Homo-oligomer: A and B are copies of this chain.
Amino acid sequence: MPEVVFPLDSNKKFTEQQIVGHNRWHPDIPAQVQVKPGDSFRVHCREWFDGAIVNDDSADDILNAPLAGVHVLSGPLAVEGAEPGDLLIVDILDVGPIPQEDSGPLAGQGWGYTGVFATRNGGGFLTEQFPDAYKVIWDFQGGKATSRHVPGVSFTGIVHPGLMGTAPSADLLAKWNAREQALIDTDPNRVPPLALPPLPDSAILGSLSGADFDRVAGEAARTAPPRENGGNQDIKNLTKGTRIFYPVFVEGGKLSMGDLHFSQGDGEITFCGAIEMGGFMDLHVDVIKGGMATYGVSENAIFMPGNTDPQYSEWLAFSGTSVTLGGEQRYLDSHLSYQRACLHAIDYLTKFGYSPIQAYMILGAAPIEGRLSGVVDIPNSCSTVYIPTAIFDFDVRPGKNGPHQVDPGMGVPMSPA
């Protein structure tokens, strides 16, 4: 086991740890951990809500989730010699749930959750159809997930970090704040909001205190979106064995990570989201000096996925186009066409006895593939979603004998918005 450079004690809150991480992006959050190119090391990660979501049969915790406090991130880690313009090579040597702890109150201790926010908290990808708060608990065993809330399905986890990235420069941060505020200003009272501006409330900023804390808390970017620095990309393919190349914007790069997922379908369509958990990452870092210019990587991560993702060979796929449920034609809207493909999958699965929210949860948590199949055929884009048939313990294919009927069991806990 590599040396633990960022430890977390499962019995303590995120802010009471030996090294306190952060939940905002800002160049002035100090790096409290130093590593060198060529180093391998372990980082512990806390689940994104720092334990606010519990292993029970109610969605009240999702309904009342402390949104201001996310995502609790491990870091920043400074890499010796990394300078703006370099590419930071990050190898994911391993990633998994909390090691040696398979039961307990923290997601990652043998279990995880998939939630859907109430619309006022951001909803999910299909918030018009699912406006309330919902939660599903998944149990981990042998690398597989099963749920008492969603019978008849089990799948091998495609474990990955939802969020990892380098710190922005001051200029880059200013750019983020300006452009996101401009978007908010177009509809400032929208529910859910168009974007999330800096929010001093609940900010955690590592070792900062006093006036520095206040200044940074007022400027620092929220962690919800992915941006030029990587960030909350929610790419399910950043699995063990993946090599990622991040642009470096500040001295040392200041790498941070968190929001681990035991599994996720493309899109993390449930938003709250994937199968959330705490755990660990073993990382190896290196630097390509001047790599941003050499390889034309001005922003966002490039990566080479690992080679041990779960393998499936039979898929059932659904397609959608960019016409709203109400029948309105939109112009090449791949977001909408993916929504429609997902809704088609849900319609289908409900014919097998699942409730719509159970079907939605499967799409959010299982390793489904979401593809941009057609993006030019005006006015309709075409998106497709692929479900591995082997995750069901019954035959999920269409046939002449009609669909098998699962017993939906207790179903998905819901708390009305």
- Chain A residues packing against B (C-beta within 8 Å): 1-2, 40, 87, 91-94, 99-102, 122, 124-125, 141-144, 156, 175, 179-180, 182-183, 192-196, 224-228, 230, 232-237, 240-241, 245, 266-271, 273, 282, 284, 288, 291, 294-321, 323, 327-335, 338, 340-341, 344, 347-348, 350-351, 369-384, 386, 389-390, 397-400, 402-403
Contacts and interface: CB of A to CB of B under 8 A. Distances in A.
Contact of A143 (B93, B142, B330): B93
Contacts of A400: 288
B371 A102 contact: no
A376 B114 CA distance: 14
Given A225-B321, A297-B348, A314 B390 contact: yes
A373 B261 CA distance: 13
Contacts of A340: 300
Nearest to A155: B307
A401 to B, nearest CB: 10
B372 A141 contact: no
Given A92-B142, A351-B296, A376 B327 contact: no
Contacts of A230: 319
Contacts of A333: 335
Contacts of A273: 376
Copies, count: 4
A314 B90 CA distance: 17
Given A268-B375, A373-B233, A318 B300 contact: yes
B370 A371 contact: yes
Contacts of A376: 122, 124-125, 234, 267-271, 273
A378 B124 contact: no
* Among all A-B residue pairs, the 7 with the closest Cβ atoms: A93-B142, A225-B380, A234-B374, A296-B347, A313-B313, A179-B329, A195-B379
A142 B384 CA distance: 24
Nearest to A175: B327
A226 B371 contact: no
B182 A143 contact: no
Contact of A269 (B183, B323, B375): B375
Contact of A179 (B312, B313, B328): B328
A350 B305 contact: no
Contacts of A303: 316-317, 319
A1 B377 contact: no
A197 B329 CA distance: 13
Nearest to A302: B318
A226 B313 contact: no
Contact of A310 (B296, B308, B316): B308
A376 B324 CA distance: 18
A313 to B, nearest CB: 4
Given A233-B374, A376-B267, A307 B297 contact: no
Given A179-B329, A314-B390, A373-B234, A397 B227 contact: no
B316 A304 contact: yes
Contact of A224 (B334, B378, B386): B378
21 contacts: A87-B398, A93-B142, A93-B143, A99-B99, A156-B307, A194-B379, A195-B329, A195-B378, A225-B377, A226-B321, A233-B319, A234-B382, A237-B371, A302-B316, A304-B389, A304-B397, A308-B310, A313-B313, A313-B314, A335-B375, A335-B381
